[in-house]
Structure 1
Amino acid sequence: MPRALTGGTPVCGYGGPVPRYDDDLRLAHVLADSIERTALEMFASPGLEVSVADDGSLTTQAAGTLEELLRHQLQRTRPRDKVQGRILPSTGHGDRRWVIDALDGAANYVRGVPVWATLIALVVEEEPVLGLVAAPSLSRRWWAGHGSGAWTGRTLARATQVRVSDTAVLEHASASADDVASWLFGPHGQGFAQLTDRVWRTRAFGDFWSHALVAEGAADVALGSYLDTFQTSTLSALVREAGGRISDPWGAPVSDRAASGGSPVVVTNGLLHEAVLAALSPTDAAEG
């Protein structure tokens, strides 16, 4: 179990002392505060520079600007920690690693859709122990720290603790998939079609939002077509602390994936996880 090297007081749990990362969590909010005004000012602004990446995705210089600001704050407050960002090269050394995605949902950001966020995670000894999703245009944040529960609200002082739903029947579940075409025409196409036919309803909230909604119990299943370590580090900490489960469609963990790689991700309230995995399996779908 990782040690809380900075701040926090261990509390006793069934398995002994549980390390807390309260000081680091407060810092994560400070980091989000430090870029919020800049992010909102650049959001869908007429002068925003936009380019198309090799894979066809939209990118913007705003992501680099925001990451630089976050790195500056971390250099002042946690100079000994490693920092891994989506845009700039990694810096620092050691077992404590800040993983930052300054602008998740860049395509929404440049098109004026308010579903975008800054994702901040702390990974200690290769385990995500803290995750913060800050979505200024939605006036919401979701966060969690190891042993501190999962929360949502506008600030630390105005927060409500959240937990995943208790939905245990797939036919009663609300599911969200971020890219229907990728699921339908990918290796899980047949299973995905059957899954969406079985659940109560299917929506497409997209990007970080689907997974945050599962963490707060507003949705039961979230399917991400392509998530990498910059997203899963934050979302893993949030979902697990809320009582949910996250894996790839084959049930394998997602926290150890390479920074440059991404793959489909399944997030559920835990109770539905095995049923969702079974429904997505082409073999099981063909047999059932």
Structure 2
Amino acid sequence: MTDDVKIALTAALAGAEEALRHFAEVAALPRELKADGSVVTAADRAVETVIRRVLAEAVPDDAVLGEEHGATGSGSGRRWIIDPIDGTALFVEGDDRWLVLVACEDQGAITAGVAVVPAQQRLWWAGLGTGAYEGRLVAGGIAEERRIRVTGSRASGLAGSTLGVVPDWGRAPAEPLIAVADERPWSLHPPLLVARGDLDLAAQTSGQIWDFAATSLIVTEAGGAYARFDGDSRPGPGASIYARSPELRDAALKAVVP
């Protein structure tokens, strides 16, 4: 495990602990709307603050970009990218599928990514060139660690491929895929289901770099492929495709961007 992955894990797990504290009292948590209409709460801001505190102690010279507190620091060529609660709309409804996402970008490449699903006591992580892994949270530590791989046994085309769509309440960009692939309900963030071999495809119909940085690395290190709808393989704003192979990713992109 690389140093960047260790730092990302420490930061994400600290954030997960803070998030669970708020989740236990979510019914009483005030909710606000951002300018883009998305939900935000004091929990989002508190979790990001905790993660930033860990990073400030571990890597004080690195820049940080977070969904709630913006960009801080510059100059080293290294940047930590935080989504403190990915899926706040799920969080405030008491749904257990929300995540804490932390990634490290070094000289433009994502080198570490961690995705924690605190309410399910599960986590995923990857380091550039070192593979993707999943485990369970037990008594504050990681148990049942195993390396994960995308599936390689299904048909190569879109027809018959299994698909998860995020979010499932605003998915117009993914409708061409839904017409061909077999859309499935999901109990876990669909890109993670691709990484562990449970889905062939995942489409995320909107987002920013913090929505994609960690999961794009986890999927690619599991042997899969990632790209934005514009074909760029670097995480960034817009919609994104995750697939178990580059060929399936490219077929999906042709369907949604003819």
TM-score for the superposition, normalised by structure 2? 0.88
Are 1:214 and 2:194 counterparts? yes
Aligned to 2:45: 64
1:278 is displaced (CA, Å) by 2.2
SS for the counterpart of 1:90 is: strand
- 1:160 and 2:146 equivalent? yes
Instruction: Give the CA deviation at 1:280.
Output: 2.1
Match of 1:51 among 32, 40, 43: 32
Question: Residues of 1 paired with 2:49 and 2:55: CA distance?
Answer: 10
Answer yes or no: is the 8 Å Cα contact 2:124–2:133 preserved in 1.
yes
CA contact (8 A) 2:216 2:242 kept: no
- Once the 2 structures are TM-superposed, how far is the Cα of residue 157 of structure 1 from its aligned partner? 4.8
Task: Specify the code of the residue in structure 2 equivalent to 1:51.
Answer: E
Q: Any conservation in 2 of the 1:179–1:204 contact (CA below 8 Å)?
A: no
Aligned to 1:143, the other structure's residue is in SS state: strand
> Which residue of structure 1 aligns with residue 253 of structure 2?
277
SS at match of 1:121: strand
From the superposition, tell whether residues 275 and 89 of structure 1 become closer, same or farther in structure 2 (CA, over 3 Å): closer
Instruction: Give the drift of 1:47.
Output: 2.6
AA partner of residue 207 (structure 2): L
C-alpha distance in 2 between matches for 1:107 and 1:264: 18
Q: Which residue matches 1:15?
A: none
Contact residue 165 and residue 202 of structure 2 kept, 8 A: yes
Larger radius of gyration: 1
Could you tell me which residue of structure 2 aligns to residue 33 of structure 1? Answer: 13
Structure 1 residue 110 corresponds to structure 2 residue 98: no
Q: Which runs of 5+ in 2 are unaligned?
A: none
Amino acid of the residue matched to residue 38 of structure 1?
Answer: E
1:179 Cα deviation from its structure 2 partner = 3.7
Q: Distance in 2 between matches of 1:102 and 1:263?
A: 19
Matched, 1:73 2:54: yes
**Which runs of 5 or more structure 1 residues have no equivalent in the other structure?**
1-20, 284-288
Equivalent residue number for residue 170 of structure 1? 158
**C-alpha root-mean-square deviation of aligned residues, in Å?**
2.0
Tell me by how many angstroms 1:205 deviates.
Answer: 3.2
CA contact (8 A) 1:162 1:215 kept: yes
Identity of aligned residues (%): 28
Separation (CA, whole Å) in 2 of partners of 1:170 and 1:89: 38
With the length of structure 1 as denominator, give the TM-score of the two structures.
Answer: 0.80
The code of the aligned residue for 2:92 comes to V
